[in-house]
Structure 1
Amino acid sequence: MTKKEWEQVARVPQIKQLYLVCYLLEDNIAQRKAVEKLAKRLKLKILTFPHILCNVVRKCDLFFGDIHDYTSGPREFIGLIQNAELIVTDSFHASVFSMIFETLFYVFKRDKADAKNSTNRRIYDFLKEYQLVSEESLAEVNKIPEVDFKYAHQHWEKRREESLEYLEHALGVKRRKHR
């Protein structure tokens, strides 16, 4: 889908404050403490999803964050990313939607880099391919820097077209051209 199509899917959140989305799948207290310090420096509220794993609130999320989201579905999740000042995540999908909506984001490693089932590889391959790797650590961020997403979007459009051509060929169908 194009950015415009994703914008039509997204639901605009009813949050009136400036916020950062913290979408962490790993149980890592040190990461959460770094996010709290960052949010304080940037004067942002922290929006979290404490129920991520099987609708169970994890202990590390009990008192973490300012806004706890227990009800968002996919459309609301996309809208929250689209309208956030910043995303802090260890999720591939949150990283991709951050790029689509040109929302600044930071990625934490989710699991041991050498683990057999590590999910880090696809996140870091994505960041490298789309030239979105930042050398700053969260501890050093005092303001939200500007990011040029131009290359990422040009590359995304190229990869999107390649995917559509592949599907067209594999399915033996012709696409209708958008006007």
Structure 2
Amino acid sequence: MKIKTITCHEVYNYGASLQEFALLKYLEALGHTTEAIHYKPYYLSNHFNLWSVSPKYNTFPVKYIYLLAKLPGRIKALKRKKVFDTFSKKYIKTGNSIYKTNEELKNNLPIADTYICGSDQIWNSFFENGKDPAFYLDFVPDDKLKISYAASFAIDSIEAYLKPFVKEKVSRIHHVSVRETSGVTILNELDIENVAQVLDPVFLLSAKYWKETFIKKIDEKFIFVYDFDSNSFIKEIAIKLQQEKGYKIYTVNKNIKYATNNYWLKGPEFFLSLIANAQFVITNSFHAVAFSLIFEKQFVVVNRQEAINTRMRDLLALFDLNHVLITKNNITDTLNLIDYKSIRHKKQEAILSSKAFLINAIKN
């Protein structure tokens, strides 16, 4: 069967790239012909723009002073763009057409038997993609099979004005699954039933596959910090652990200055190697949590400053790991927070259930 997927494509984020690849790879392993739709709306197309200027600096001569100051760093950052583009070119198959709007998709429909939207935060109305009909498969004709796989709202509730839009669009999808229990609740409250909760696509591929395909050995002992917010509490934990254990601190976040080594310019493959080789992971990233679970690493989670914490909370709750979501009030001195023997069966059940949803949805 020919299957097309749509998700936030080429957004230069480790998790976004790896989940897109994982879904395509798993579908391919099932015997299907797969491609991602190369969808690049305006709001996902301004990454690594050398000449962008914040509105508050957009006056003469401030604009040109601002650009001169920013340009050296932006030119260096193109190296990061290059490694992500190389990963996409090698591992994420797309059609030749690039689409910028839902109307373009309607007028020049990518040909497939089945269309799948997901995963990641495609329905998060905190961002523009959650309000974009394309991510709800609006462009797909009624007679074509439509599936959402692990679509994420990433928030506990959506604003009242968006509820009719979301209800109308999701009601057209034949088989609906979301990534979080909060997503099930959102849709049930819109009278959309038979909503499945499934795992992120990265869980569809085994730890063995990830390791054999991407992981390179790193001999040093280190703590891996993946922190979107430059969070002072994460810094406190990392430095305390470093002092106690003598481990180095590795990161891929540009603004973290306390790390021993910063690999901001490395691509998704090295990101996986960092998690797989780390002695401990400290993060506020959903996909750092997901891969820590896949590779059975010890880790702790700190909430994001943005209101998108349902992703980590619901995933941890699924495996009874709420205690690794820490605050200053419940910080622990031990590294061994997770007994993986006790959760392996539950994790395997969730993976099998997620695979079964996808297989049955495509068959039916």
Normalising by structure 2, what TM-score? Answer: 0.40
Question: Any idea what the Cα deviations from partners look like across 1:41-97, whole Å, max 9, x if unmatched?
Answer: 12110001133xxxxxx3xx2x31101113322222112111110000001110111
- Matched residue pairs, number? 157
Moved over 6 A (4+): 135-138
Aligned CA distance change for structure 1 residues 169 and 9 (closer, same or farther; 3 Å)? same
1:127 and 2:316 are equivalent in the alignment: yes
Amino acid at match of 2:269: R
Q: How does 1:26-175 map to 2 (within 5 A)?
A: 26-51=229-254, 58=255, 61=256, 63-111=257-305, 118-134=307-323, 140-141=332-333, 143-145=334-336, 147-172=338-363
Aligned CA distance change for structure 1 residues 144 and 30 (closer, same or farther; 3 Å)? closer
Q: CA deviation at 1:146?
A: 6.1
Using the alignment, how far apart are the partners of 2:233 and 2:350 within structure 1?
Answer: 36
Q: CA deviation at 1:134?
A: 2.5
| Kept in 1: contact 2:302–2:327 (CA 8 A) | no
SS at match of 1:97: helix
Using the alignment, how far apart are the partners of 1:163 and 1:34 within structure 2?
Answer: 34
Q: CA deviation at 1:31?
A: 2.6
Aligned CA distance change for structure 1 residues 146 and 88 (closer, same or farther; 3 Å)? closer
Amino acid at match of 1:84: A
Higher relative contact order (CA 8 A, sep 6+): 1
| Kept in 1: contact 2:215–2:276 (CA 8 A) | no
Taking only aligned residues, the RMSD between alpha carbons, in angstroms, comes to: 2.2
Q: Which has the larger radius of gyration?
A: 2
| Kept in 2: contact 1:87–1:105 (CA 8 A) | yes
Structure 1, unaligned stretches of length 5 or more? Answer: 52-57, 113-117, 174-179
SS at match of 1:98: helix
1:12 and 2:203 are equivalent in the alignment: no
Q: CA deviation at 1:28?
A: 2.1
SS at match of 1:134: helix
Normalising by structure 1, what TM-score? Answer: 0.77
Amino acid at match of 2:342: Y
Using the alignment, how far apart are the partners of 1:2 and 1:111 within structure 2?
Answer: 31
Q: CA deviation at 1:145?
A: 2.1
Q: CA deviation at 1:160?
A: 1.5
Amino acid at match of 1:151: S
Q: CA deviation at 1:22?
A: 0.4
Amino acid at match of 1:5: Y
Using the alignment, how far apart are the partners of 2:302 and 2:345 within structure 1?
Answer: 25
Q: CA deviation at 1:163?
A: 1.6
Amino acid at match of 1:75: E
Using the alignment, how far apart are the partners of 1:166 and 1:134 within structure 2?
Answer: 29
SS at match of 1:128: helix
| Kept in 2: contact 1:36–1:65 (CA 8 A) | no
Q: CA deviation at 1:26?
A: 1.2
| Kept in 2: contact 1:89–1:108 (CA 8 A) | yes
